[in-house]
Amino acid sequence: MDQYIPIVLLLGLGLLFAAGSFMGSKLLAPRQKPTSSKIAPYECGIIPDKEPPQRFPVRFYLVAMIFIIFDIEIVFLYPWAVVFRQLRVFGLVEVLVFAVVVFIAFLYLVSNGALTWGPARKLQLGVHRTSESTISRITASPASPPPSSPASPASPDRAA
């Protein structure tokens, strides 16, 4: 029975930490209701012009699956590397089989489009983007075209 005391103490400590975290967040959280500007979505300083989709795309979950698969592989490889010399050929075959299974899972995810994030965009020739041109393009109203920068390398005013 004495061998279970550390497990019970660790379980109690975990429960105490969880309860303390909930109480601390309840006591330290701001008491005012959030404003509409606090609730609004924020993406890199750009105000979104359309509503976000209600569901995450499947690709999001496929990328998460790739992360979990490779995370499990790394967790498996650390102990294997520690005892590799003791396992000899059996350990090598074991890790090769595991790597093949992980690679097959990776091929399955790639074949389902996990790493495809939309159609390929073609670059426009002769357009050099700078931070100034991006800022002016974002802040410009839709009716007016973005101003051209005189310091741009693609500017026709520049002498060769």
Give the residue with greater pLDDT, 37 vs 98. Answer: 98
Whether the pTM exceeds 0.75: the reply is no
Give the residue with greater pLDDT, 5 vs 54. Answer: 5
Q: pLDDT tens for residues 115-159? A: 777 665 555 566 666 666 666 666 655 555 555 555 545 544 444
Q: pLDDT tens for residues 89-123? A: 998 898 899 889 888 888 887 787 777 776 655 55
Closest residue by Cα to residue 99 from 119, 65, 72, 135 = 72
Looking at 28-32, 86-90, 155-159, which range is the least confident one? Answer: 155-159
**Cα separation, 14 vs 19, whole angstroms:** 9
Per-residue CA distances from 20 to 25, 29, 148 (Å) = 8, 14, 57
Tokens found for residue 69: 């698969």
For residue 28, the one-letter residue type is L
Average pLDDT of the residues of the chain: 76
**Cα separation, 138 vs 43, whole angstroms:** 13
**Predicted local confidence at residue 160, as pLDDT:** 44
- 8 Å CB contact between 157 and 150: yes
